[in-house]
Copies of this chain bind each other. A is one copy, B any other.
Amino acid sequence: MADMDHALQPPARLRGLASWQASKVSTLGARLTARRMPLGARADFAVLAALEEYGALSQAEIGRRLGLDRNDVSGILNRLEDCRRVDRQADPANRRRNVVTLTAAGRRHLEQLQQHADAVQAELLAGLDTAEQRQLQALLAKLLDSHKPQPA
């Protein structure tokens, strides 16, 4: 038994490697998310959340805030616009830009996704007590802040 437990452990060289750990936690989160959310909902959630918090944004601003490429923002907005969850119009003040706005349907969809996200969050962090969960979130946030300039 103890032998089998030991046999299933990942090697020590990986157990303490933060980039490997983060990758595994990330795919774990992706699996849990996939069970509850419709297809491609993760990116949608991020974009809708940005619009809800900051109001109208250009696509480039969305990308900068979320760490996404312009290209991918474009595709996500196509999906969202098809479902009438965002409104995309040329900015009269700067015709290079598109002003993206959250619609009522988009706001409703955001709240739905938020519930799924909360459920996934609880499931993912179930093995940690409340204090540990907050610690983990704080440490990850600090780590990400320290790398802010880099993302595209």
Residues of A in contact, count (CB < 8 Å): 65
Determine whether A95 belongs to the interface, using a CB cutoff of 8 Å to chain B: no
A136 near B143 with CB under 8 A, answer yes
Determine whether A28 belongs to the interface, using a CB cutoff of 8 Å to chain B: yes
A140 near B25 with CB under 8 A, answer yes
Chain A 114-143, CB within 8 Å of chain B: the 1/0 string?
100100110011111000110111011111
B125 near A143 with CB under 8 A, answer yes
Question: How would you classify the secondary structure of chain A's contact residues: helix, strand, loop or mixed?
Answer: helix
**Of the 9-residue stretches A49-57, A70-78, A85-93, which lies at the interface with chain B?**
A49-57
Chain B nearest CB from A144 CB (Å) reads 6
Contacts A24-B144, A127-B146, A133-B18 given; does A65 touch B139 at CB 8 Å = no
The answer, among B19, B26, B50, B53, for a CB contact under 8 Å with A19, is B26
Determine whether A17 belongs to the interface, using a CB cutoff of 8 Å to chain B: yes
B22 near A29 with CB under 8 A, answer yes
A10 near B142 with CB under 8 A, answer no
Contacts of A15 in B (CB 8 A): 141
Q: Which 7 residue pairs across A and B have the least CB separation, nearest first?
A: A127-B146, A19-B29, A21-B140, A26-B26, A13-B49, A11-B53, A22-B25
**A20-B42, A22-B22 given; 13 more Cβ-contact pairs under 8 Å:** A11-B46, A11-B52, A13-B114, A18-B121, A19-B26, A19-B117, A19-B120, A21-B144, A22-B26, A25-B140, A135-B139, A136-B139, A136-B140
